[in-house]
Every structure is written in structure tokens, then in C-alpha cells.
Amino acid sequence: MSRKYFGTDGVRGKVGEFPITPDFAMKLGWAAGTVLASTGTKEVLIGKDTRSSGYMLESAMEAGFSAAGVNVALIGPMPTPAVAYLASTFRADAGVVISASHNPYYDNGIKFFSNSGTKLNDAQELEIEALLEKALNQNAMQCVASKKLGKVRRIDDAAGRYIEFCKGTFPNHLSLAGLKIVVDSAHGAAYHIAPNVYRELGAEVISINDRPNGVNINDHCGATHLDSLQTAVMVHEADLGIALDGDADRVMFVDHNGHVVDGDEILFILAQAAHSKGEMTGGVVGTLMSNLGLELALKQMDIPFVRAKVGDRYVVEQLKETGWQLGGEGSGHILSLNHASTGDGIVASLQVLKAVLESQKSLSEIKAGMTKLPQVLINVRLATADADADSILATTSVQQAVIKAEGILGDQGRVLLRKSGTEPLIRVMVESTDTIMTQTQAEYIADAVRAA
């Protein structure tokens, strides 16, 4: 059974348009509260990023949970992984994040975490959706008796607790003293968290894009727009730069030469560091989009590599199935399950910094063992938000374009088409050993998708 509202990363869309409306958020809160309460839930913890729409959606969710008889703890602007951690440490039964991650300010989203800090499974989301449908279409939302309504409290020391958690994942015998680091918080949820973590561990920190105003989150900054970080690293002659996205579940680096170090290279660095110390247990989980260069570099170290579907929830599922600890995506979602239960940009960055310090090399040097193959990703935006991506992908013209491109690439490359789980896009990815051929075939397939 397919899900109607929950994408690969919860519910997401444009603010003011269904489903990101106050009415939907309230009924989603009620449906989730009702389902979770049936399993014993008494309190949920709600965090958000820095979008101005977060206040509206937070209030609506709060009302829905209260109507279902579930208490609410509010922690304000906080990274997504912080909500996952704090839901557990404050003994809440579940966590809710109001964020659209790396999307522009006019989008927002809602996602849930269990009390163990992991995302809800498909069965739970389907159960919530079934009740939500009744609330939306049959006016089935009900309110518990007044004496059973959920109560609301605000937690004031959440940021400090999470900062200490992040620092606790970094070895006590190491220090960042002597490192100059530029930190780009994307005007997002980590603006008051990330710079303090690195400072308190000893680094000299130059903090940029750390003044959120409700509408500047991810605006030409952060993990999806690295130009300003690259410039700042060079201007300040920093050792490296660290970029987070709006909810700080992604991280990207820039080395001292201004070159980007992406999620695939981060996975290589972490695997190489563990392998060199004899601490690599199992293999690495990537995704269908992971660069082939990562797979080949891991193979040279006899480290197994498997590909999951795109989306960090699927990487987590694969990690649990294999019993491995390390996985992630090229976009900077890094899973290190021996340190955090979900993708955590700050925690992942600290593991990279640990590798740099222990190797006594620069970031540029320790990434050199992996050679990325030319990879072109073209995002084809659908004509309308409700356009059927599956139908477009199934058209004869698109299928024939893929077959032709694969014939040209042969065994020197691969093609991947997939619809986005968070935006009205079809992603066209082509990878091969030849840069020009890769670009040409990606554009050829993208043109076929646009014309379909």
C-alpha cells in the first residue's frame, strides 16, 4: 500500500498550499497523536527550523496533539538530529520536526521520530494516514474530554544539552586547537549550535550565514550552495570549511584549496580512517546515486558496499539489516550509527575532523584516495506540482532515451532516473568515465523527460 502524504522525508510542500496548511497540520497532529497514544504515548517533543511558517505549523500541531490527549514539549529552533536525540533524553514518547530541510523558506514540512530517535516505519505512517484521511474527508476528528486534553510546556535548556551531546562524540584526548574553521549554518536551525560546538572543542571559528530572519534559510548558502563558504575559506585562509543545511542533517566540507568535499568523499574518509585502525566493522551503505568512485575505492580496501534506495530512512533500514554502522548519501546525509541514531551533520563533521587530526594530514590529502567519476545530475521540474512523475517515467519516449543512452555508455557508465520524494522533480543522473559523454547523455535524457 503506497503512502499518500508521507514522502521519503515526511510531509512536505509549499506553505499555504495543501498539505502545508494550518488545518492539515492540526489534523495530522491529531491523527498522529491518536495512533501514538494507542501504543502508550503520553508526550511528544516538537522542534523546528528558522522558517517563519514554523510558528504557525507548530501551533497547529500543538492543538492537534492536545485534542488527542497527548502532552507537548516545545524546544524551539533546533537541528533535526537534535530532536531525535532530545526526544529520547527527555523521555518523550516521540519527536516531531517542522522543517523542509534544504528547501527554500516558502516550503515547509513535518516529520516524526520514535522515542528511540529513529524515523517512524512505513506501517506507522500508513496507520496515521488512514486516520488523517478520515479527519480530512469525513470530519472524523474528535477531541478528548477536557480533563484529558494534552498540556504544553517549553524546554529552555535544549540547545545546551545537544551541544554537550555533540561534543561527547569527539574523543577527549583530541582538540581542535590550532584549526581555523569557517562554519556556514545556512541561516538555519544550527545557527546557535554548530559554531559553539567547534569553539568549545578549541577551534578558531569564523561563523557565516548565522543570522536567520525567517525567510533567508538556505538562501544561496549552506550545504546546497557552497560558493560563499568556498570564498570565506580562501579569504580567511582557513584550514577547512563546514556547511550544514537548514535543519543540519546534512554536512558538506570545503578543503583549504576551496575544493568541495561531498558526502561520498566523507564516507570514504570515515571508512578509510576506521580501516587504517582496524576498526572497520562490516561495510558501507550508499544509495543508487552514490558515485561509482566510492564503490571502487572501498573495494580496494576490501570493504563491502551496497546501495539502498535514495533517502536516509532507506540507508538506515539497510544498515540495520546488515548490522553495519556507516552509510550515507552524496548530498551529505551521513549515518554513523555508533554515534547517532539518525543523520547528524554536526556529529558527522566531528568524525571527519577526528580523521584529519589522527592522520596528521590535511582534508585535501585524506580525500585523495578516492577518485570521483564524472557524474551529472539534472533536476527536471515538473510542469505542475500534481503532475504524475511515474507516468512520465513510464512513457515510451523516456524509456527509449534511457535505452539509447545506456547503449552508448556500455559498461563504462550507468543511468538512473527517479522522482524526488520532497519536490516536484524528476532527477536524471548519468555517470561514466568520460566527462563529455556523461553530460551529453544526461541532457539527452532530460530533454526527453521535459518533452514527455
> Which residues are known catalytic residues?
101
Cα distance between residue 427 and residue 402, in whole Å: 13
Q: Which helix (H) or strand (E) segment is 46 a member of? A: strand 43-48
Cα distance between residue 449 and residue 443, in whole Å: 10
Q: Is 444 exposed, middle or buried (0-12, 13-18, 19+ CB in 10 A)?
A: middle
Q: Bin 212: left if φ > 0, else alpha if -120 < ψ < 50, else beta.
A: beta
Place of cell 570564498: 231
List all residues 6 or more positions away from 377 whose beta carbon is below 8 Å from its beta carbon.
289, 427, 428, 429, 442
* DSSP 8-state assignment for residue 8: B
DSSP-assigned letters across all residues of 361-390: S-HHHHTTT--PPPEEEEEEE-SSTT--HH
Strand ranges for 309-424 from DSSP E: 326-328, 334-336, 375-381, 413-419
Angle at the Cα of 349 from the Cα atoms of 223 and 295, rounded to 5 degrees: 80
Are 269 and 354 contacting, i.e. CB atoms less than 8 angstroms apart?
no
The neighbouring-strand residues paired with 242 are 183, 253
Cα distance between residue 97 and residue 246, in whole Å: 12
List all residues 6 or more positions away from 188 whose beta carbon is below 8 Å from its beta carbon.
49, 50, 212, 217, 218, 222, 244, 245, 246, 247, 248
Cα distance between residue 195 and residue 70, in whole Å: 35
Measuring CA to CA, how many Å separate 412 from each of 136, 176, 432? 50, 42, 5
Angle at the Cα of 102 from the Cα atoms of 97 and 106, rounded to 5 degrees: 80
Strand ranges for 196-325 from DSSP E: 204-208, 240-244, 251-255, 260-261, 284-287, 305-308
Query: Which residue in 103, 130, 122, 126 sits closest to 313, CA to CA?
Result: 122
* Other CB atoms within 10 Å distance of the CB of residue 148: 12
Are 438 and 374 contacting, i.e. CB atoms less than 8 angstroms apart?
yes
